[in-house]
Amino acid sequence: MVSSPRVRNTLTLFSSLDCVVCHRVRLVLAAKGVTYDMVAVDPAKPPDELVEVNPYHSVPTLVERDLVLYSASVVSEYLDERYPHPPLMPVDPLSRARLRLSMLRLEHDWVPQVQAIQAGNKTQSDAARKKLREHLLATLPLFKASKFFLNTEMSLADCAVAPIIWRLPQLGVSLPKDAKAIEDYGARIFRSPGFARSLTAEERAYRDGVA
């Protein structure tokens, strides 16, 4: 949860107000109930304080005293270890490896489509919309198979998947009726108090009144 500006937290998150990757980290923080200060960043104009600490100037970037972390996967895994409750990774190596691989696939295959829809020209965004829809439909059996993504409990993978599902109406990606399992999955996550806390006002507006 983002705290009042007068209270200085030990954690500072440089985050865009509507980026799917930043939302992933905000959801981890919210699921853990961790308070932090958020510095809102326009990725096209990174502020000097971010440029000084992150060679890639990218968001999300987490700062905790002398520690500076970037890349959503690095930040998310650190937060899960630093704040162990509730755990957002299973304990057995096989399940952990599966979830890590699924998050990698998401970063490589899904996130670029989201970003292309938001930033590309019409041809690029139409092609990205089609690809994202194909990825989602190819993954339908996984959404049907368990309550959360590849797991019985909420995990870091859900923190990566749910921000994408949340954005589908805004991205103009519509799914067929037989893909209802994807919207049902989203609804389960969107109902959690952590999800509502993870949203910026800009993101809340994508599905007004839902979280």
Give the span between the Cα atoms of 127 and 180, in whole angstroms: 23
Tokens of 102: 């699924």
3-state SS, one letter per residue, for 84-144:
CCCCCCCCCHHHHHHHHHHHHHHHHHHHHHHHHHHHCCHHHHHHHHHHHHHHHHHCHHHHH
How far apart CA 33 and CA 146 sit, in angstroms, is 25
Nearer to ligand GSH, 60 or 194 (CB): 60
E runs forming strands in the chain: 11-15, 37-40, 61-64, 67-70
Q: From the CB of 72, what's the least distance to ligand GSH, in Å?
A: 4
Q: Residue 166 CB, nearest distance to ligand GSH (Å)?
A: 15
Q: Which of 19, 75, 89, 171 is catalytic?
A: 19
Q: Nearest distance from residue 119's CB to ligand GSH, in Å?
A: 9
Query: Can you say how many angstroms the Cα of residue 140 is from the centroid of all Cα atoms in its chain?
Result: 19
Tell me how far apart the alpha carbons of residues 205 and 35 are, in angstroms, rounded to a whole number.
23
Query: Interface with ligand GSH by CB under 6 A: which residues?
Result: 16, 19, 21, 43, 56-60, 70-72
Q: Shortest gap between Cβ of 11 and ligand GSH (angstroms)? A: 16
What burial class does residue 121 get, using C-beta atoms within 10 Å of its C-beta: 0-12 exposed, 13-18 middle, 19+ buried? exposed
Q: Least distance to ligand GSH from the beta carbon of 76, Å?
A: 9
| Count of beta carbons in the 10 Å neighbourhood of residue 89 | 19
19 catalytic? Reply is yes
Please give the positions annotated as active site.
19
